[in-house]
């Protein structure tokens, strides 16, 4: 199969060997499509602490990997925070390096947590959580999964204000495919509807999974993801 390469961007406190990432890598190898994965600093196999990370730092790491370790056309696939970083990457490259931006021919986003510090984290914080951040600089948000608490730091919140997609309408200039579970307790379905309303240019297509959760890691969810990525690959190949 001929088509663009794939870049996988994981979510907050996830990694490049997650269920979805591994399934996508297996599929890419089977059909002969290149795939690049990374762990942000403080995640997976990368050194550092999650507590020291910020949206800007992780965005710069993604940018460096894309510019230094990939060639040719790309489809960027991002889950949760990875979807947010994918949008920020396209936005930054369109502004600063348009030739490099043109290499990204489509985005596939899974429950994209866009503007997550301002739209998802701050509004949901209890007074107790706000007090912990004020006094200790960090709040350890309990997790629904078996991955320990999520450290939400003052630095992450404050720095996140500088990386908002939602300040003005944004035309992504390429197809954006969004998959979102309607039973998602972490990134509400309405968050994706707000994103669709914010993106100009009629590029965006959304698939709602009625019984899907945030991670969309069940076999049927993986199948949907692979079909979506394949469609993006084939669609691009036919366009060329």
Q: Is residue 163 part of a domain?
A: no
What pLDDT shows up at residue 234?
Answer: 77
Number of domain units in the chain? 1
What pLDDT shows up at residue 115?
Answer: 98
Q: Is residue 135 part of a domain?
A: no
Q: Is residue 96 part of a domain?
A: yes
What pLDDT shows up at residue 145?
Answer: 77
Question: Torsion-angle region of residue 97: left (phi > 0), alpha (psi -120 to 50) or beta?
Answer: beta
pLDDT at 238 over 80: no
With CA atoms as reference, report the closest residue to 38 among 87, 99, 72, 79: 79
Rounded to 10°, the helix 19-31/219-239 angle is: 40
Q: Is residue 143 part of a domain?
A: no
Predicted confidence band at 148 (pLDDT cuts at 50, 70, 90)? confident
Q: Is residue 73 part of a domain?
A: yes
pLDDT at 1 over 80: no
pLDDT at 146 over 90: no
pLDDT at 236 over 70: no
The residue range of the domain holding 19 is 5-115+168-239
Q: Is residue 160 part of a domain?
A: no
Question: What whole-number distance in Å separates Cα of residue 222 and Cα of residue 142?
Answer: 26
pLDDT at 81 over 70: yes
Q: Is residue 159 part of a domain?
A: no
Structure token pair of residue 189:
């379905």
Q: Is residue 125 part of a domain?
A: no
CATH number of the domain bearing residue 198: 3.40.50.1820
């Amino acid at each position: 199969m001929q088509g663009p390469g794939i870049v996988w961007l994981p979510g907050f406190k996830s990694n490049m060997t997650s269920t979805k990432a591994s399934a996508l890598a297996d599929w890419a190898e089977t059909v002969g499509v290149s795939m690049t994965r990374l762990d942000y600093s403080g995640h997976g196999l990368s050194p550092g602490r999650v507590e020291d990370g910020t949206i800007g730092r992780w965005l710069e790491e993604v940018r460096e990997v894309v510019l230094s370790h990939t060639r040719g056309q790309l489809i960027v696939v991002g889950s949760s925070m990875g979807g947010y970083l994918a949008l920020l990457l396209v936005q930054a490259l369109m502004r600063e390096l348009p030739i490099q931006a043109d290499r990204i021919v489509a985005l596939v986003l899974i429950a994209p947590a866009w503007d997550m510090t301002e739209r998802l984290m701050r509004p949901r914080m209890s007074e107790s959580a706000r007090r912990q951040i004020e006094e200790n600089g960090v709040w350890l948000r309990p997790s629904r999964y078996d991955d320990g608490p999520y450290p939400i730091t003052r630095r992450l919140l404050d720095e996140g204000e500088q990386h908002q997609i939602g300040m003005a309408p944004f035309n992504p200039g390429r197809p954006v495919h969004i998959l979102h579970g309607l039973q998602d307790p972490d990134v509400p379905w309405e968050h994706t509807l707000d994103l669709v309303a914010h993106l100009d240019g009629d590029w965006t297509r959304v698939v709602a999974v009625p019984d899907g959760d945030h991670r969309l890691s069940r076999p049927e969810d993986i199948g949907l993801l692979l079909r979506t990525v394949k469609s993006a690959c084939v669609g691009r190949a036919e366009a060329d």
